[in-house]
Chains A and B, each alone.
Chain A
Amino acid sequence: MSFDYERYLRLEHLPHLWCPGCSHGVVTKALLRAIDKQGLDQDKVVVVSGIGCASRLPGYVDFCTLHTTHGRALPFATGIKLARPELHVIVVSGDGDALAIGGNHFIHACRRNIDLTLVIFNNSIYGMTGGQYSPTTPHGAISSTTPFGNPDSAFDAVELAKAAGATYVARTTAHHVRQMDKLISDGIGHAGFAVIETLGICYTNYGRRNRKRYRSNQDMLRELKERTVTATKAETMSAEELDRRWVVGLLHREERPVYTECCEERTGGARQPPEK
């Protein structure tokens, strides 16, 4: 039986504003299937975003949805979760939103291990503003603000999340749709801060400027397929072999006390102020 997307979509607000060839729709559908698989009460799901192409997602999905300021989705979500721990709070964020302007909030959400799910839509570019380079744009790539090639080095969101203390860290791509379903679903089910980086494509504002490499969005999708290796396979490969490869799958998972529960424990079941 085909999946009933309409149950979760605000049809009156479609079509979406994403360009032809964009992969954000792929991730949106995977997110809806993951929420459905987890059997969450639609009224108890909150989807929070910042600013950017990916951050327009909340307007299209039928939950409690919050489209905030650039980079700040995680702290808004933190306030919601602390005020109402029973809500399932999911944050969607682009690479610039999550890792540049929101980079500080990202590492601190990891550190706290607050029970939120963060889905990063990493298309390596600021798409909405016209294709400026982001913290995940590859070194040397052409963007509207790196006309001579990107002098910066890119962040690895997975390594950053692991180092900062996230307890569920996964990576997948817009080409690996079934894997994406499972990784997002398990991330939502995980007790603690879950980061799922989804590698995607922006032909309009990234691929187009790097035509030597990509003649179409299909070339970009093909690259997502060809350059990825599974976590299991990666274990058997040398660092040289892994150069310019993306390792996908569940890359880190640990059980660590969840922030909201730590607050309860620390302040005591009786919730009385400590003796002076």
Chain B
Amino acid sequence: MGSVKFIQGNEACAEGALYAGCRFFGGYPITPSSEIAEILARRLPGVGGRFVQMEDEIASIAATIGASLAGTKAMTATSGPGFSLMQENIGFACLTEIPIVIVNVMRGGPSTGMPTAPGQGDVMQARWGTHGDHPAISLAPMSVREFFEETVRAFNLSERFRTPVTVLTEEIVGHTRERLALPEPGDLELIERVKPTVPPADYRPYDTGFGDVPPMANFGDGYRFHVTGLVHAEDGFPTNEPSVIAAKERRIHDKLGKARDEIDRVDEYLLDDAEVAMVAICSTARAARRAAREAREQGIKAGVFRPVTLWPFPDRQVAALAERVNKIVVAEMNLGQIVHEVRRAVSGKVEVESLTQADGEPIAPGTLCEAFREAAR
């Protein structure tokens, strides 16, 4: 075990990025994520990395993608308004298959909303924010320790699958201080993108001969290749050939769909004998855990199901949950987003109740305990 720290979630995220080998951060100040930028501005030079504060969030993610293409593990961090600005280039990274990590420490409300208050209103944006059909991975940590671990996992998944990965959490997790025992180097597995082994003349940047995730060369390493946001063939150049277009679009989805065992992560709490299950993410899941304990003291068999990998959504696991419980309550700090996914996955097998709160306040355990009681009635 490494050193033990008492730090906030945003600090843990920065530590996780450094642990994962992040050596570039391009960002723009925004509450409640700014500490991540501030810490990496201080720390990156010490490990041979580079920090840059760009002129806006569009430039931040563009620089992050550029740095990754030059061979560096790269990250940006933001909150709702900045996440909105980043959407077009997230799609660019999806289609061009360039690994990056985007951290979104969610605030409440649309527009400027509530900069210093928590919310979970970006759940659907994390999946569907950029235009066109595209794959998405989002990880939703609930604690300081998990913010560290999920940031490391975000880098691993982005490198493994050549795709952008979003770490989606909220202000409470970002600013809560907790004890964190930093892992020693080697304690956690780190994944690096697969590099080409073919001679430069034979290199094709989207060569499916190596599987669904083609090896990726760095700019400047002797491989001269083309990268474009136009739909392209395996050689990287734009194409109008329908069969080639279809294959590309399918593959960037299939590369995740076929590897769900590597991507999925769910957390079950007191669910073994549960009759009522609550589905929640981030800080709401922690409140739900306490509510479940209190409900059990009152004789209600309550449990909590938490998608840690929020996207792709754990359909299979939620469908299995519906086989075991009598009722599901989805609690979220928005006006109802996760509930649609749960209802889709459950497919009418059990009743799914929606509990929403979008007022800038965390959902209190008492509210959730009452919801357990209602559901058990």
Residues of A within 8 A of B (CB): 10, 13, 42-44, 46, 48, 58-59, 62-69, 72, 74-84, 86-87, 104-105, 108, 263, 267-268, 271-274
Q: Write out, one digit per residue, whether chain B residues 226-239 have a CB within 8 A of any chain A CB (1) or not (0).
A: 11111000000110
Chain B nearest CB from A73 CB (Å) reads 8
> Are the C-beta atoms of B63 and A82 separated by less than 8 Å?
yes
Chain B residues touching A, range: 35 or more
Q: A69-B62, A83-B24, A84-B71 are in contact. Are A43 and B224 (CB under 8 A)?
A: yes
> Are the C-beta atoms of A67 and B45 separated by less than 8 Å?
no
A104–B58 CA distance with the chains assembled, in angstroms = 11
B64 at the interface (CB under 8 A from A): yes
Cβ contacts under 8 Å, B227 to chain A: 65-67
Contact partner of A84 (CB less than 8 A), chosen from B48, B63, B64, B70, is B70
Chain A nearest CB from B245 CB (Å) reads 17
Q: Which residue of B has the minimal Cβ distance to A64? A: B219
> Are the C-beta atoms of A63 and B70 separated by less than 8 Å?
no
B56 at the interface (CB under 8 A from A): yes
Cβ contacts under 8 Å, A65 to chain B: 224-227
> Are the C-beta atoms of A108 and B55 separated by less than 8 Å?
yes
Cβ contacts under 8 Å, A46 to chain B: 219-220
Q: A59-B228, A83-B70 are in contact. Are A76 and B46 (CB under 8 A)?
A: no
Q: List 28 A-B contacts (CB under 8 A).
A: A10-B226, A43-B220, A46-B219, A58-B228, A59-B237, A64-B220, A64-B224, A67-B227, A67-B230, A72-B59, A72-B62, A75-B26, A78-B54, A79-B62, A79-B66, A79-B67, A79-B70, A80-B219, A82-B52, A82-B63, A82-B67, A83-B23, A83-B67, A83-B74, A84-B70, A84-B218, A105-B59, A273-B42
B89 at the interface (CB under 8 A from A): yes
Q: A67-B227, A78-B59 are in contact. Are A263 and B50 (CB under 8 A)?
A: yes
Q: Which residue of A has the minimal Cβ distance to B60? A: A75
B251 at the interface (CB under 8 A from A): no
Contact partner of B72 (CB less than 8 A), chosen from A63, A83, A267, A271, is A83
> Are the C-beta atoms of A271 and B48 separated by less than 8 Å?
yes
Cβ contacts under 8 Å, B89 to chain A: 68-69, 72
